[in-house]
């Protein structure tokens, strides 16, 4: 028993012409649908079924270049085209997928194919009752059943809509209606690509998904589609958010803290960060008396922190503090746009739950942690508020909790793992000496870069000064990060403006030309053709169409030639045949 998949599409859509080949993030709409079909059914035969109308030639051309099998039938009798495609390929069942189903759910298709494989049903569908979004329809019909059923209707609307006759006659055949139980709240959501507004909505969903767009499941698509737009707190003037961490470098001296704060503001950092704690509520005076005294010495008062926050906000710079005492959080909270959780508090879940209940974006440092511990803490935060599943709400920071660390311990590639495992924003909190790690992290796509900041490293004994940058180094780093951000660009592969402005997509590419004179009526053979720049007339990718075609008039060598104007394609080409 063979089940084949038919992707039904046409180019001349009334509300959105050419939608099947519309560009979305550097890819055509059809390529997304094919990708999702092959995720679910990589071994099943797939055919694109379009019409014989000249308006659908671009679809046939795309299929040739993409290595997709293409069937061409009636433009208006879509039911007939669907059935003829199944019969020509000698399939027992045909799967109907529409060309507007950009967000086809692979898991749904896979499950419905498994049901059809039992050979117990004539019609397997997820349409009646509409428990799925529009644009996720999958229907599988037995070829013999469909042929018999459709003989009884010639109504144009039923011939156009393929299976509407079966909806109106529910007693026909053995049926299985597949229900959406994985995300029932998505029922009826408009995800089909039918209008310019639908296309714009789809682009927004794919932009939010980024490189993971091809692997989205139904729930992820629903969440991205219904997510309310939210500003990105991790965006800085040079690209990533640059956080100058003064921390405890003031060593408890408020005058020094003010001076460092002014210098950090003047350095161009996007955010100035402090640490807010009391020795008595952070370290046991019994188990660790020396550290207890250390933190007491570095304390600043409530009024002093509020003054520092005011300095930042007056200068248009973000103020934030790692708050290690919930009693202090109550009065400093109005001055902070987001929270920073230090590595030492990654496992302090009662504290983290309180931060999450307040609903502001969170930066989570991960020094000392295993991946399991990071994922557990992320889940802990997300259980409190599902908004922390959004990258605008939670950023996971690679960090190594030592001062300083050797280069090998920066382990920047962990950011890639965080990005894949969590789907969240990622960043890097630096404890190396110099700026090489920060620049590398920026090149790898860190959205937040945190570094320690001081007024001078000379003559300082407190450990953090050694890994800190001074104002001039931050200014230089910002310039370098700005260039790195420009070089990184985005994740969409498209011809760039400089290429298009100079027409290099034509001048650098090759077209198919004739190397010698060909008389009207003669058949063009392989020895007649040469591939040359520029790509005018017949694209080099269409050479197979040119071979075996008939010249419509006398054709001079080395001039651009076009199908329909200069030659007509006759079908398959025999490379061994001589030119007639």
Among 96-105, 279-288, 492-501, the range scoring the smallest mean pLDDT is: 279-288
What is the per-residue pLDDT across 289-321, written as a single tens digit (0 to 9) for each? 887 776 778 889 999 999 999 999 999 999 999
Q: What is the pLDDT of residue 462?
A: 81
Query: Which of 175, 199, 226 delimits the end of a domain?
Result: 226
Question: Is the model's pLDDT at 481 over the cut of 80?
Answer: yes
Looking at the structure of the chain, the number of domains it has is 3
Torsion sign across C-alpha atoms 385, 241, 27, 229: positive
Distance spanning both ends of the chain, measured CA to CA: 45
Stronger pLDDT, 370 or 423, i.e. the higher one:
370
Q: Which two tokens stand for residue 205?
A: 């969903």
**Are 351 and 445 in the same domain?**
yes
**Are 525 and 478 in the same domain?**
no
What is d(CA 183, CA 494) in angstroms, rounded to the nearest whole number? 34
Question: Is the model's pLDDT at 281 over the cut of 90?
Answer: no
Q: Could you tell me the pLDDT band of residue 580, with boundaries at 50, 70 and 90?
A: very low
**Are 17 and 78 in the same domain?**
yes
Q: What is the pLDDT of residue 175?
A: 96
Strand partners, 450: 243, 429
CB 431 within 8 A of CB 227: no
Q: What is the pLDDT of residue 574?
A: 59
Mean pLDDT over 22-45 rounds to 94
Share of the chain above pLDDT 70, in %: 98
Which CATH number goes with the domain that contains 549?
3.90.1210.10
**DSSP E strand boundaries for 22-168:** 23-24, 27-28, 46-51, 69-73, 93-98, 123-125, 139-142
Mean pLDDT over 103-107 rounds to 95
Question: Is the model's pLDDT at 578 over the cut of 70?
Answer: no
What is the per-residue pLDDT across 403-421, written as a single tens digit (0 to 9) for each? 999 999 999 999 999 999 9
Query: Which of 488, 512, 536 delimits the end of a domain?
Result: 488
Helical H segments across 118-212, by residue range: 143-150, 156-161, 164-168, 196-209
Q: How many CA atoms lie within 13 A of 171 on its CB side?
A: 0
- Structural domain contains residue 578: no
Mean pLDDT over 559-572 rounds to 91
Model pTM score: 0.85
Q: Could you tell me the pLDDT band of residue 575, with boundaries at 50, 70 and 90?
A: low
Q: What is the pLDDT of residue 280?
A: 80
Residue 444's alpha-carbon distances to 81, 269, 487, 535, in angstroms, are: 49, 20, 11, 36
**Are 349 and 268 in the same domain?**
yes
Share of the chain above pLDDT 90, in %: 79
What is d(CA 129, CA 86) in angstroms, rounded to the nearest whole number? 27
Phi, psi dihedrals of residue 233, rounded to the nearest 5°: -75, -10
Q: What is the DSSP letter of 44?
A: S
Per the prediction, the chain carries an average pLDDT of: 93
**Are 406 and 453 in the same domain?**
yes
Domain extent at residue 543: 504-568
Q: How many CA atoms lie within 13 A of 124 on its CB side?
A: 23
Q: What is the pLDDT of residue 547?
A: 96
- Structural domain contains residue 493: no
Q: Could you tell me the pLDDT band of residue 572, with boundaries at 50, 70 and 90?
A: low
Q: What is the pLDDT of residue 484?
A: 97
Q: What is the pLDDT of residue 512?
A: 98
Q: What is the pLDDT of residue 278?
A: 82
Strands 93-98, 3-8: pairing is: parallel
Element housing 66 (H / E): helix 57-66
Longest dimension (CA), the chain: 101
Which CATH number goes with the domain that contains 257?
3.20.20.70
Question: Is the model's pLDDT at 573 over the cut of 70?
Answer: no
Q: Could you tell me the pLDDT band of residue 577, with boundaries at 50, 70 and 90?
A: very low
């Amino acid at each position: 028993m063979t089940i084949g998949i038919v992707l039904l599409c046409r180019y001349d859509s009334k509300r959105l012409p050419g939608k099947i080949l519309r560009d979305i993030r550097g890819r055509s709409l059809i390529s997304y649908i094919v990708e999702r079909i092959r995720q679910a059914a990589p071994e099943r035969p797939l055919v694109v079924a379009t019409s014989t109308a000249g308006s659908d030639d671009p679809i046939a051309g795309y299929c040739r270049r993409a290595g997709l099998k293409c069937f061409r039938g009636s433009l208006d009798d879509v039911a007939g085209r669907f059935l003829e495609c199944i019969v020509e390929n000698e399939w027992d069942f045909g799967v109907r997928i529409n060309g507007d189903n950009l967000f086809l759910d692979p898991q749904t298709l896979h499950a419905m194919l498994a049901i059809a494989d039992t050979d117990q049903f004539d019609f397997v569908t997820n349409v009646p009752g509409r428990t799925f979004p529009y644009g996720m329809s999958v229907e599988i019909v037995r070829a013999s059943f469909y042929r018999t059923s459709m003989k009884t209707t010639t109504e144009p609307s039923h011939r156009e809509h393929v299976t509407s006759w079966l909806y109106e006659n529910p007693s026909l055949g053995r049926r299985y209606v597949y229900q959406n139980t994985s995300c029932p709240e998505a029922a009826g959501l408009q995800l089909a690509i039918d209008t310019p507004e639908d296309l714009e909505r789809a682009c927004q969903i794919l932009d939010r998904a980024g490189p993971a767009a091809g692997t989205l499941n139904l729930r992820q698509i629903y969440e991205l589609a219904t997510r309310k737009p939210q500003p990105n707190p991790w965006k800085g003037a040079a690209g990533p958010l640059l956080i100058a961490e003064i921390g405890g470098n003031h060593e408890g001296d408020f005058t020094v803290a003010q001076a460092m704060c002014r210098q950090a503001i003047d350095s161009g950092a996007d955010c100035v960060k402090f640490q807010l704690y009391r020795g008595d509520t952070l370290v046991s005076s019994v188990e660790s008396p020396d550290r207890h005294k250390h933190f007491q010495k570095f304390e600043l008062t409530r009024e002093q922190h509020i003054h520092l926050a005011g300095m930042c906000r007056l200068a248009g710079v973000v103020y934030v503090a790692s708050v290690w005492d919930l009693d202090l959080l109550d009065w400093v909270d109005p001055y902070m746009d987001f929270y920073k959780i230090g590595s030492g508090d990654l496992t302090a879940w009662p504290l983290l739950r309180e931060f999450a209940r307040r609903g502001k974006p969170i930066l989570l440092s991960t020094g000392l942690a295993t991946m399991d511990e990071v994922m557990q803490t992320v889940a802990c935060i997300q259980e409190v508020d599902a908004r922390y599943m959004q990258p605008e709400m939670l950023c996971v920071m690679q960090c190594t909790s030592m001062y300083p660390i050797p280069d090998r311990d920066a382990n920047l590639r962990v950011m890639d793992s965080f990005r894949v495992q969590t789907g969240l924003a990622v960043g890097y909190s630096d404890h190396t000496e110099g700026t090489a790690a920060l620049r590398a992290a920026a090149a790898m796509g860190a959205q937040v870069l945190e570094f320690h900041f001081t007024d001078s490293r000379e003559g300082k004994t407190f450990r953090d000064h050694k890994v800190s940058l001074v104002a001039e180094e931050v200014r230089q780093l910002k310039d370098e990060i700005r260039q790195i951000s420009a070089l990184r660009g985005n994740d969409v592969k498209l011809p760039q403006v400089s290429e298009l402005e100079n027409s290099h997509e034509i001048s650098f590419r090759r077209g198919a030309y004739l190397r010698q004179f060909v008389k009207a009526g003669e058949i063009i053979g392989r020895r007649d053709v040469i591939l040359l720049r520029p790509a005018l007339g017949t694209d080099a990718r269409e050479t197979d169409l040119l071979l075996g075609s008939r010249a419509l008039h006398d054709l001079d060598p080395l001039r651009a030639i076009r199908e329909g104007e200069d030659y007509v394609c006759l079908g398959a080409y025999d490379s061994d045949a001589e030119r007639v």
